[in-house]
Structure 1
């Protein structure tokens, strides 16, 4: 575990204090990989690049760090032992690729820090390195199925709590021991899966912190129809969970979701919405006509901060330009003196 040791409960709050009260999460990974020529038309999606083009993953991490991100998320959202084995890889090879996703992000962080030092030496001043965390991504069971069910949360009656715990157990263990600073449980579509994650974290007495981020398509519930209040309460019950929030959700829903989450937790709130475009699970394509521009996206940031978001970034279809604009907006806001009244 890199950034912190001991009790994970105050870990994120300590990090935010060191970062000026807020943190910038990176943006979309898969769409950036595609912009660099990666073909992700595969059930492994972005995790395919762990096999075919890891250099592209590292480049995208670096692009986001250059844009101002404080937290970079590994290319393991769709990386599962079961998924790799279905491609003919051995169990050992599959587990090695999970670890490699974290190594690539850590290496990108080291390269970025080294670049900052080199630039500073040229100016005869060495600035303090800004804190940067590596978050090991764990996608939902639906992401592994690659059938769009991560956007519906409908796994069928045959999938039980024990099914989900068995599916995720080894991957969670590997990521907890990978050298990442925290685990990012992303795009959680239902209450059942959040409960599975909590039980895995608590059963293994893992020291590594985690965050839970849910997705919503109506601004009130998670995509399965489960209440966001109930799902956030499950996350809040676990001491290992150091932040709770929303990802891969249209920006227009975020304000209300932050207010809802605040009703059930005092933990830091994170949000990294998608561009506002709609994903067509049947065609496996994003429908581009409903998105918002970077300017429109960033116009929401001050409102999200006002109602309680501490960590802000982007998800699918957002870019380093989006993150750069978010970082500038947050820095400008933090520089504005508050009233003493």
Structure 2
């Protein structure tokens, strides 16, 4: 299987543009996300919308995209009445929909415009996402290692076998969980990226420092990128600086809009950051980010702003 290389994208673009939120893209089309499967339910109910959200982000300038599998865990899908084989098929479908969108966009405009062929990032959400109670913003699940291995292993295999270019273990509140996922990815021989969610400019939500995370993850052969996502934009510059002290790996960041998540209603509330996203993106690039995009509550307009920030940043170098 020919996989697209992260390093090839970085070599061509210097800074990779990550896509924005699948949830925001679906909501803007009228999709109701107030359910435990969240965006994963659209794999069943509105797969054509999932594909269109990917297309929208490519058109906006994204050099990579994240599959709609963050909430598509086998236990989570089976709890909703799907058989194990149906659950596995839906996880595989998240990669297939990305591939269809990528190929269509490439043929219609990408190839002719000289853009890079987008990377497919196979999303692996944390155990806390399956709990659907906001635990990805707390960690400390109180479960054993074998439970976490059983939760993650098969989904990672399916995403990799389906043709993801990279596995992205995202919104990770916990270093111990990230290390379990890293070990599984190494056993698979899969290239991967680990992205933490943080409560401030130094600590993950579970309480580990970025220094601890960087040192624990050092020397892993297939780890291609580290970083931060679904974190308040105001903390990201500091977090990039922390990563830079302790790792030589590329750093990818895609924060949320700065609002606060309500796990009961699956909605975001409160003020967004007053600073335009383009300005934030340029700050993160100056701090040393190799990839920039957006997470919850960010959409096509945010990604267009990141493209503008990259153009400005590279023209000033």
TM-score by length of 2: 0.95
- Structure 2 residue 133 is matched with structure 1 residue 133: no
**Contact persistence 2:3–2:163 (CA under 8 A):** no
- Structure 2 residue 190 is matched with structure 1 residue 197: no
5 Å matches for 1:27-38?
Answer: 27-38=20-31
- Identify the residue that residue 311 of structure 1 maps to in structure 2: 291
Q: Distance in 1 between matches of 2:265 and 2:299?
A: 22
Instruction: State the superposition RMSD in angstroms.
Output: 1.6
Per-residue Cα deviation, 1:186-216 (whole angstroms, up to 9, x for no partner): 0011111011111112233x2x311100001
- Residue of 79, 88, 93 corresponding to 1:86: 79
Q: Distance in 1 between matches of 2:298 and 2:221?
A: 31
Q: CA deviation at 1:333?
A: 2.1
- Identify the residue that residue 58 of structure 2 maps to in structure 1: 65
- Structure 2 residue 277 is matched with structure 1 residue 291: no
Per-residue Cα deviation, 1:52-84 (whole angstroms, up to 9, x for no partner): 110110111111111000011010000011111
5 Å matches for 1:40-79?
Answer: 40-79=33-72
Q: Distance in 2 between matches of 1:275 and 1:128?
A: 30
- Identify the residue that residue 95 of structure 2 maps to in structure 1: 102
Per-residue Cα deviation, 1:136-194 (whole angstroms, up to 9, x for no partner): 101000001111111100202xx122221121111111111111111111001111101
Name the SS for the 1:177 alignment partner.
helix
Name the SS for the 1:290 alignment partner.
coil
Name the SS for the 2:68 alignment partner.
coil
- Structure 2 residue 266 is matched with structure 1 residue 273: no
- Identify the residue that residue 163 of structure 2 maps to in structure 1: 179
Q: CA deviation at 1:284?
A: 2.9
Q: Distance in 1 between matches of 2:136 and 2:113?
A: 42
- Identify the residue that residue 245 of structure 1 maps to in structure 2: 227
- Residue of 227, 230, 240 corresponding to 2:209: 227
Q: Which runs of 5+ in 2 are unaligned?
A: none
TM-score by length of 1: 0.89
- Identify the residue that residue 11 of structure 2 maps to in structure 1: 17
Name the SS for the 1:168 alignment partner.
helix
Q: CA deviation at 1:3?
A: 3.1
Per-residue Cα deviation, 1:280-332 (whole angstroms, up to 9, x for no partner): 22443211x32125x62221222211121010000000010000111122023
Name the SS for the 1:270 alignment partner.
strand
CA distance change for structure 1 residues 129 and 299 in 2, over 3 Å: closer, same or farther? closer
- Structure 2 residue 148 is matched with structure 1 residue 167: no
Q: CA deviation at 1:127?
A: 4.2
Look at both structures and tell me which one has the larger radius of gyration over its CA atoms: 1
**Contact persistence 1:12–1:268 (CA under 8 A):** no
Name the SS for the 2:290 alignment partner.
strand
- Structure 2 residue 93 is matched with structure 1 residue 112: no
**Contact persistence 2:73–2:151 (CA under 8 A):** no
**Contact persistence 2:19–2:64 (CA under 8 A):** yes
Per-residue Cα deviation, 1:87-119 (whole angstroms, up to 9, x for no partner): 2111111111101000111111111111117xx
Q: Distance in 1 between matches of 2:54 and 2:240?
A: 27
Name the SS for the 2:116 alignment partner.
coil
Aligned length: 317
